[in-house]
Every structure is written in structure tokens, then in C-alpha cells.
């Protein structure tokens, strides 16, 4: 019987512990502070989910930036090839582009005092060359206006012609459907398939 008493005491203690946990859970569940906390957590989770769906994760942004950086790097790597193919046979254009590119690089770094003094001396000597370059650039721009206009007109004509071709093809494709639809909708009878 002593063993049964010990066993009963153990069961009572286990039941008390279970009931205590259950009461704590119920108290936690109905506590106003915990209710507010759970609602805040739900709203926060909803906002996070919405933000993720709209903006993506930082990983997505990082991948996108990495891809854009790679594309930019490729563009910079291939710029000399593009410039050389675009300026082939036009040494003045190539020279102007090289000058502009060098100017951009120079503008990225601040000049030293020695460079400032040297540039002041050289500026007076380069003024005639600058005027010549400006005149050449204006002349080149005038020469390029007509080919650019012609190319734009050619693109416009090609686009108009393509649009007409697409519209005509669409009409031709829709015509049998329209005839078939109007032939069967009026009488309620369908025409037998033709044998050719």
C-alpha cells in the first residue's frame, strides 16, 4: 500500500504540473498584454510579407546589383571595340572621343598645385587648337545631320511598312474566321466541310 500511496502522490504531482501549465497557457492566451503582442506580431509579419512580395529580399537586390555591375563592367570593357568600330575611317571623331574620355578621367581626380600652374601656361598656347577643334566638331555635326535624318526616315518607313504588313496579315487571318462565324450564327445550321 505504501507503494500505491507514492504512486498516487506522483500522479497527483504530475496532474498538478499539467494543470499548472494549462492554466498558465490559458492565462497567457487571455491576457490583454499578450493579445496585443500577438496582434502586433501578426501585423508585423503581414507587413514583412508584403514588403518581401513588393521589394524582394536583400539577396534579390544584391543579385540585381551584382548583375548590373557585371553588365556595366562588360560595357566598359567593350567600349574601346565599339568606339574603334564606330570611328573607323574617321580619325577626327576618334581623336575627339579620346580627348573626351581623357577629360572625364582627369575630371575624376583633383589637380595638384603644380598641375594647376602648368595648365594655366598651356591654356594660352592651346586656345587656337581649341578653336580649330570646335570648328571641326561643328562641321562634323553639320555633316552628320543629313545621314541621321535619312536613317530616321528609313526607320520610320520600315516601321510603317511593317505595321501595314502585320495589319494585313491579321485581317487575312481573321477573314475566314469571320466568314465562318457569320455563316453559322445566322441560321443555326453549320455548313458541311468542303471536299477539295
Q: How many CA atoms lie within 13 A of 97 on its CB side?
A: 16
Tell me the angle at which helices 58-86 and 91-108 cross, rounded to the nearest 10 degrees: 140
**144 alpha carbon, distance to own chain's centre:** 33
What pLDDT, on a 0 to 100 scale, did the predictor assign at position 183?
Answer: 56
pTM of the model: 0.26
What pLDDT, on a 0 to 100 scale, did the predictor assign at position 13?
Answer: 92
Structure-block grid coordinates of residue 95: 581623336
Reading the chain (196 residues) residue by residue, the pLDDT tens digits are 556 888 889 999 999 999 888 888 888 777 788 888 888 888 888 888 777 776 666 566 566 666 776 676 776 666 666 666 655 666 777 777 777 877 777 777 777 788 778 878 777 777 777 788 788 888 887 877 887 788 888 888 888 888 888 888 878 877 777 777 665 544 444 555 555 5
Q: Residues 6 or more apart from 84 whose CB is under 8 A from it?
A: 94
What pLDDT, on a 0 to 100 scale, did the predictor assign at position 189?
Answer: 47
Amino acid at each position: 500500500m505504501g507503494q500505491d500511496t507514492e504512486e498516487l502522490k506522483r500522479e497527483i504531482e504530475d496532474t498538478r504540473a499539467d494543470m499548472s501549465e494549462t492554466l498558465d497557457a490559458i492565462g497567457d492566451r487571455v491576457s490583454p498584454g499578450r493579445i496585443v503582442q500577438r496582434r502586433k506580431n501578426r501585423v508585423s509579419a503581414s507587413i514583412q510579407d508584403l514588403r518581401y512580395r513588393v521589394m524582394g529580399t536583400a539577396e534579390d537586390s544584391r543579385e540585381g546589383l551584382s548583375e548590373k555591375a557585371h553588365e556595366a563592367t562588360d560595357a566598359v570593357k567593350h567600349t574601346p571595340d565599339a568606339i574603334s568600330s564606330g570611328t573607323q575611317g574617321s580619325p577626327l571623331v576618334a581623336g575627339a572621343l579620346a580627348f573626351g574620355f581623357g577629360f572625364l578621367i582627369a575630371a575624376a581626380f583633383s589637380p595638384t598645385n603644380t598641375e594647376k600652374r602648368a595648365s594655366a601656361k598651356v591654356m594660352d598656347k592651346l586656345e587656337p587648337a581649341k578653336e580649330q577643334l570646335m570648328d571641326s566638331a561643328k562641321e562634323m555635326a553639320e555633316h552628320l545631320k543629313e545621314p541621321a535624318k535619312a536613317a530616321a526616315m528609313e526607320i520610320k518607313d520600315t516601321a510603317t511598312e511593317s505595321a501595314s504588313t502585320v495589319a494585313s496579315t491579321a485581317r487575312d487571318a481573321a477573314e475566314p474566321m469571320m466568314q465562318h462565324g457569320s455563316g453559322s450564327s445566322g441560321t443555326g445550321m453549320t455548313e458541311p466541310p468542303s471536299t477539295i
